[in-house]
Amino acid sequence: MRICLFPGTFDPVTLGHTDIIDRALPLFDKIFVGIGVNAAKNPMFTAQQRMQWFNDIYANEPKVESVTFDGLTVHYCRKIGAKFILRGIRYVSDFEYEKTIADANRTLDKTIETIFLTGEPKYTSVASTIVRDILRNGGDASPFLPEAVIHSFKK
């Protein structure tokens, strides 16, 4: 089985995130969306909320499962049997940063390969940081968000 981990904070889940997952579906038998729990970060939304968004968005897609994890990504990959780490790239600067992490992960475990998918151009400007700023300041972030996320805000 081709199992991958798509790690991130996903705070909140954006159309950029779902674009990467949707386009990775044909490549993998199972995609674990790994919501990283990082004590150094102070997320706007709980890990449970972020997991629920993915569960709602992919309710009819058995190949996608959301999980939370902490510690090293390669350690979690070993735990779930993932031989691939999926990462989305928007800009060249993303690639430079992500390649450094991929190189470190390869040094830690040569059996796990990082796969980069570039985002659709229409989602290039979609960043969770920008979305959080819009939300904090009472703006309409709906153009950047999946329907399940928008719907949860209306509750």
Spans of the chain, pLDDT less than 50? none
Burial 94-124 (b: 16+ CB within 10 A, else e): beeebeeebeebeeebeebebeebebeeebe
Q: How many domains does the chain have?
A: 1
Whichever domain contains 56, its CATH number is 3.40.50.620
Model-level pTM? Answer: 0.94
From the candidates 2, 30, 41, 50, give the one annotated as an active-site residue.
41
- Is residue 78 annotated as a catalytic residue, yes or no? no
pLDDT tens, position by position, 89-124? 988 888 999 999 999 999 999 999 999 999 898 888
pLDDT of res. 37: 87
- Is residue 128 annotated as a catalytic residue, yes or no? yes
| Cβ atoms of 39 and 73 closer than 8 Å | no
Cα(151)–Cα(52) distance, integer angstroms = 12
pLDDT of res. 146: 95
Which residues have CB under 8 Å from 95's CB, separation 6+?
89, 116
From the candidates 17, 50, 66, 87, give the one annotated as an active-site residue.
17
From the candidates 50, 66, 87, 128, give the one annotated as an active-site residue.
128
The packing angle between helices 92-108 and 73-80, to 10°, is 60
From the candidates 50, 66, 87, 90, give the one annotated as an active-site residue.
90
**Structural domain span for residue 30:** 3-154
